[in-house]
Structure 1
Amino acid sequence: MSTDSTDRSDRTGQQAAGDDDAVRAATVRRLERAMGDLGSAAVARMESRLSWFRRMSAEDRSWVGLVAQSGVAAFVEWFKNPERGRPAIAVEVFGTAPRELTRSVSLQQTVDMVRVVIDVVESQVDDLAAPGGQRQLREAVLQYTREVAFSSAKVYARAAEARGAWDARLEALVVDALLHGDREQGLQTWGSALGWSRTPVMALAGGLGEQDSESTLEDLRSAARRAGHDVLAGVQGERVIAVIGISENLSGDAAVLTASEPLAGLFGAGPVVVGPAVSDLRVANRSVRAAVSGLRAALAWPDAPRPVRAEDLLPERSLEGDTAARRQLVEEVYRPLRNAGSPLLDTLSVYLEHASSLESTARMLFVHANTVRYRLGRITELTGHSPGDGRGSFVLRIALTLGRLSEREE
């Protein structure tokens, strides 16, 4: 190629570039004049197309409208200065709205909003672009749309990450407050902030073992939520505590074990103890304390089921020093027998002292064996524990001892 040909080619390229710049500048002037109308048209179209936008509060609608206006303004500024490279959409567009707006507007709704704004601009490309600049403007709109999509995803990802970290800290605070009985008045508010709605409530306590704490907590949360429960979980040393808002599909006494059995396998090796169901989160500390007390005492009952109810560990908890367990044994086992009259208490005492022998008990009390059998049946009805059963006799013996000691204190 000759030098003259090269020079002519360079001049042609420079002239084309100059023409493009002139067309772009003319288009920018048109866009700047139309910015206000474009923003208003975008908001009006959102009103007509997006039902979720119409249901929003006036304040949130105004913020969304501001984001739409900012999006148009940022596009015009970027189109005016293409040498700036990629637009800083996260700052120029989403930075105008408060962080709380990401909780009012979902990512999908943001995508819908962006589509509406882009549709408004695209529908007016022929009028907005300077003669010969339609293709240039359309390509710029497509590129800007892609950048908005990426930036939207980043904004919501950061918000979700921050929300997750905040939730984890609040969750740990609630579990700690329940364990130590602090700030009961604020628990319901904290629970609401975490999306808590289920009642009744129970607690699970077990060991962490060799497992990773974060993965254990995440597995517990996922499994509980799949079952329809609310869940708060935290790790305290080598102990994992989960507070479960039981699904409305479960009810009655069996609900506690039904809800806890699928979760027990997610704890580390060793016992898993289930606290009693309570009415709501404000009094869940009773269930948490019972579960933790049971976990400490479960070592004394190697053959305990897994999970085991904290109420089934009342004797072990009493021997370990749990005053609430001692009180419960006296109230629920000893007092009903005492109120039923001395024959039942005398029969139980003699029966336990004589190796659960029906005949020996009858001889010592000078009654027929059938009378002893009848009284033992009444004891089972009143307490829920059978004197003839190994575990039942142990519970009754501890309750009888604690009851006698309590009589001395009264």
Structure 2
Amino acid sequence: MLPGLPTPAGEVQLRTCQARRVSESVGTDLSATLRRIERAAGALATASVARMDDTLPWFRDLPADQRSWVMVVAQAGARSLVQWLRSDGGPHEGTQEVSDEVFATAPQALARSITLQQTVALIKVTIDVVEEQVDDLAAPGEAAQLREAVLRYSREIAFAAARVYARAAESRGSWDARLQALLVDALLRGDSPDVLASRAAALGWTDAPPVAVAVGPSPGGEVAAVLHTVYRQARRVGVEVIGGVHGDRLVIVLGGAADPVAATAELLSAFGDGPVVVGPSVPSLDEATESARAALAGYRAAPA
């Protein structure tokens, strides 16, 4: 070992101390850098959108209004980075709220037209643009701190995007469950074809003939979990379904099944214990009330 060089143990300790100093320096005063980022927010957003246009083919196909909203979100992201840095970029109580506000600037329709995977791609492009300009954005001596802070912020903003899409999915799932329950009620009451058609259209139902209704016992538990099982199995079978829990009964509308009885047999695990009755096939959902009445009558008579 040459004089003046650290021993292996001392080298590890030295690197640990250096890493600790770098990590702690992220929370130091970056007021000069923050002012630079605030002034460059518009330019960063413009450069990010231009990069998206160059590297993401699907982004070029978006309507002009949605592209403009992406620009607004990118500008909000730059402002949120400043706010996050002012809070030391740490796990403070307001960190999550600041990050979520980035996406609150855009309408909910944008989340329905841009998938989570596409949103992650947009975030990555924006972070890449910011990282490339760290040396210009950072005040003298603060480039390393800013670069590490941007990396940590990218993690926070990715989690924020996941939270936004998770809440949207939960809300959409609850709304779809209510619509399906209303459609099932309309079928069992024998409402007019216009009512059935309007509620089915709101659910995105593809009227694939023939259509049949199956009635059986509900397995119990959360309605959303019951319907999730129905849809998962229906995708495997390759049929269109709308389901709803009506009291202690599970009612399923099947579309596009050449043999509704055989298709229902593939879905039996979604029902509870007891008889499952399939009504006769009808040409379309408009006439599904007849199938529902027959299936319900058979279900009531089955115990006898």
Whether contact under 8 Å (1:179, 1:289) holds in the other structure is yes
Counterpart code for 1:45: R
- Aligned: 1:218 with 2:228: yes
Output one character per residue of 1:36-92: Cα deviation in whole Å (capped at 9) or x when no partner: 111111111111111222222222222122111111121123334538843633442
Mapped to 1, the partners of 2:273 and 2:87 lie a distance apart of 63
Deviation of residue 103 (structure 1)? 1.0
Counterpart code for 1:88: E
Q: Size of the alignment, in residue pairs?
A: 275
Deviation of residue 165 (structure 1)? 1.0
SS of residue paired to 1:240: strand
Deviation of residue 129 (structure 1)? 1.2
- Find the partner of 2:98 among 63, 66, 89: 89
Indicate the structure with greater helix content: 1
- Aligned: 1:278 with 2:282: yes
Assess, with a 3 A threshold, how the Cα gap between structure 1 residues 49 and 39 changes in structure 2: closer, same or farther: same
Mapped to 1, the partners of 2:217 and 2:96 lie a distance apart of 51
Q: Which residue of 2 aligns with 1:58?
A: 64
Whether contact under 8 Å (2:100, 2:160) holds in the other structure is no
Counterpart code for 1:196: W
Which segments of 5 or more consecutive residues in structure 1 lack a partner in the other structure?
1-12, 301-410
Assess, with a 3 A threshold, how the Cα gap between structure 1 residues 272 and 197 changes in structure 2: closer, same or farther: same
Counterpart code for 1:272: V
Assess, with a 3 A threshold, how the Cα gap between structure 1 residues 183 and 95 changes in structure 2: closer, same or farther: farther
Q: Which residue of 2 aligns with 1:349?
A: none
Q: Which residue of 2 aligns with 1:194?
A: 203
Mapped to 2, the partners of 1:139 and 1:156 lie a distance apart of 27
Q: Which residue of 2 aligns with 1:40?
A: 46
TM-score, length-scaled by structure 2: 0.82
Q: Which residue of 1 aligns with 2:242?
A: 232
Counterpart code for 2:85: F
Assess, with a 3 A threshold, how the Cα gap between structure 1 residues 96 and 216 changes in structure 2: closer, same or farther: closer
- Find the partner of 2:262 among 246, 258, 261: 258
Counterpart code for 1:225: R
Deviation of residue 26 (structure 1)? 2.2
Which segments of 5 or more consecutive residues in structure 2 lack a partner in the other structure?
1-20
- Report sequence identity in percent: 50
Larger RCO (CA within 8 A; separation ≥ 6): 2
Mapped to 2, the partners of 1:81 and 1:238 lie a distance apart of 52
Deviation of residue 31 (structure 1)? 1.6
- Aligned: 1:72 with 2:81: no
TM-score, length-scaled by structure 1: 0.62
Counterpart code for 1:268: G
Deviation of residue 288 (structure 1)? 1.1
- Superposed counterparts of 1:5-404, under 5 Å: 21=29, 24-82=30-88, 85=92, 86=95, 88-200=97-209, 201-208=211-218, 211-212=220-221, 214=223, 215-246=225-256, 251=258, 255-300=259-304
Deviation of residue 135 (structure 1)? 0.2
C-alpha RMSD of the superposition: 2.4
Assess, with a 3 A threshold, how the Cα gap between structure 1 residues 83 and 91 changes in structure 2: closer, same or farther: closer
Deviation of residue 242 (structure 1)? 0.8
Counterpart code for 1:246: G
- Which of the pair has more CA radius of gyration? 1
- The 4+ residue runs of structure 1 with deviation greater than 3 A are 210-218
Mapped to 1, the partners of 2:263 and 2:63 lie a distance apart of 39
Range that drifts further, 227-236 or 132-141: 227-236
Whether contact under 8 Å (1:202, 1:246) holds in the other structure is no
Counterpart code for 1:99: Q
Whether contact under 8 Å (1:246, 1:259) holds in the other structure is no
Assess, with a 3 A threshold, how the Cα gap between structure 1 residues 237 and 67 changes in structure 2: closer, same or farther: same
